[in-house]
């Protein structure tokens, strides 16, 4: 099936265009998008907007509607069944890499997910804890403790990268090259001016992944990639093309979201010292605090792209067949109809793991959620144990340098300067 590209904005109320302009990421939206989302949630909970990528999108901002949309089989994810819409968003440079688990519908999605989830069983994740704890302490050992350090580049980025690359058997200089080309893709994906860079990066990654898979077939180890290569399914093993796209999506999802979430968690705790003290005084709060931090400031601001396979009514609005659909996770996780006093960070808030939508919902619920939760717990524990007096090395009036959102879909910090073991006043560092 080929869907029709949606390009024009309908005759919506002026509110829609005002908020659409905001979502093109002026500083006030990037710093704090929640008032804009509140307006949409209250006045246009399923709004047709035209974000920066130029393709009109139905954005869902209410929890009940989002929950329904995540589970609705009439809202598909296989963008290759909507190839015109895919090309309108991405061009064709990454089409092969994107033919993956993330952009698949049953029965293909069911098969791919069944094979991939073997890496993220509770037992396998528990077995990773000692190594992740070791890595966390190694990275913190390298950080200066009495002067500002960027916690994003020194800690939040390298730890998840190391974990996912080890699972995929990517080591040494190869890891440096993979991450270099990966960053080219993430930087240029929505830029018409960088199409050549995007194509070059996609081809390099495809060739590398294909070669790496061939080496793994010849020399299997006990890593996750070897398990994928050797896996069997009633419909047959993964093809090389499926393995390449699986490596891509695991690398993409396995470090960027967790990296940004580590930064968000630390920043929000340091700017809410009473919540930080509550965790320091009672470490049993940490697991539920992580769920609250995921709800309050998740690293995934909007869901990955979906499209309407047929006309779908959500929240009283008909989304026409072939239309692009996204869920504003940052908005639905602050819906007061579901979460009382939603704009307040409260680490004592209970029963969140099965209710917040930080990891999605339904068939595409994040496979790596157990690993992400473990990495967050290990990282926060290491920081709290070793540096209980850690402070932000920012003037109190300066906001965080937030990444663009919600298109692309992430929310996180470019940099997070902190002093881990303060020996002087904050004024000394920020003068």
Residues making up the chain, counted from first to last: 431
Residue 90, pLDDT score:
66
Architecture in CATH for domain 14-430:
Orthogonal Bundle (1.10)
Per-residue model confidence as pLDDT tens digits over 199-209: 888 889 889 99
DSSP letter assigned to residue 192:
G
Per-residue model confidence as pLDDT tens digits over 72-127: 999 999 877 777 777 666 666 566 677 788 888 999 899 888 888 877 888 888 99
Pairing of strands 324-327, 57-60: parallel
Residue 407, pLDDT score:
47
Residue 427, pLDDT score:
52
Residue 12, pLDDT score:
46
What are the tokens at 241? 């093309």
Give buried/exposed letters for 331-367 (b at 16+ CB in 10 A, else e): bbbbbeebbeebeebbbebeebbeebbbbbbeebebb
Residue 82, pLDDT score:
74
User: In the chain, which stretches have pLDDT less than 50?
Assistant: 1-13, 397, 406-407, 431
End-to-end Cα spacing for the chain:
60
DSSP letter assigned to residue 349:
-
What are the tokens at 143? 């950080």
Neighbours of 126 (CB within 10 A): 11
Neighbours of 430 (CB within 10 A): 15
Angle at 39 between CA 35 and CA 40, to 5 degrees: 120
The set of long-range contacts for 268-275, using a CB threshold of 8 Å and a minimum separation of 24, is: 268/293, 268/296, 268/297, 268/345, 269/293, 269/380, 270/390, 270/391, 270/392, 270/418, 271/392, 272/345, 275/345, 275/346, 275/347
User: Domain limits of the chain?
Assistant: 14-430
């Amino acid at each position: 099936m080929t869907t029709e590209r949606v390009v024009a904005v309908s005759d919506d109320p002026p509110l829609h265009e005002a908020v659409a302009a905001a979502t093109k990421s002026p500083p006030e939206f990037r710093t704090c998008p929640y008032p804009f989302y509140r307006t949409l949630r209250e006045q246009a909970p399923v709004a047709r907007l035209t974000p920066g990528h130029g393709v009109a999108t139905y954005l869902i901002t209410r929890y009940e509607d989002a929950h329904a949309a995540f589970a609705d089989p009439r809202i598909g994810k296989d963008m290759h069944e909507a190839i015109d819409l895919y090309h309108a968003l991405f061009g064709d440079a990454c089409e092969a890499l994107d033919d993956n688990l993330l952009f698949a519908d049953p029965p293909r999605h069911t098969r791919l997910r069944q094979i991939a989830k073997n890496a993220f069983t509770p037992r396998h994740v528990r077995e990773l804890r000692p190594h992740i704890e070791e890595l966390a302490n190694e990275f913190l050992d390298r950080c200066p403790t009495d002067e500002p350090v960027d916690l994003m580049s020194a800690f939040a980025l390298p730890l998840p990268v190391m974990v996912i690359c080890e699972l995929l058997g990517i080591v040494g200089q190869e890891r440096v090259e993979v991450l270099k080309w990966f960053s080219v893709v993430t930087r240029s994906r929505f830029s018409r001016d960088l199409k050549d860079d995007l194509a070059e990066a996609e081809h390099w990654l495809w060739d590398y992944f294909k070669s790496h898979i061939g080496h793994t077939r010849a020399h299997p180890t006990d890593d996750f990639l070897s398990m994928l290569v050797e896996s069997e399914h009633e419909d047959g093993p993964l093809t090389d093309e499926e393995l390449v796209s699986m490596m891509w999506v695991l690398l993409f999802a396995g470090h960027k979201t967790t990296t940004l979430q580590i930064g968000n968690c630390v920043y929000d705790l340091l700017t809410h010292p009473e919540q930080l003290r509550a965790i320091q005084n009672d470490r049993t709060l940490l697991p539920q605090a992580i769920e609250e931090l995921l709800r309050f400031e998740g690293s995934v601001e909007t869901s990955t792209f979906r499209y309407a396979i047929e006309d779908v009514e959500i929240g009283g609005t008909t989304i026409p067949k072939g239309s692009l659909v996204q869920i504003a996770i940052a908005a639905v996780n602050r819906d007061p109809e579901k979460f009382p006093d939603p704009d307040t960070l409260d680490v004592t808030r209970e029963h969140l793991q099965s209710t917040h939508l930080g990891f999605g919902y339904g068939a595409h619920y994040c496979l790596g959620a157990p690993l992400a939760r473990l990495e967050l717990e290990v990282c926060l524990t290491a920081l709290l144990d070793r540096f209980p007096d850690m402070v932000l090395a920012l003037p109190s009036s300066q906001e965080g340098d937030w990444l663009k959102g919600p298109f692309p879909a992430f929310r996180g910090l470019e940099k997070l300067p902190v002093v881990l073991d303060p020996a002087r006043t904050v004024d000394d560092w920020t003068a």
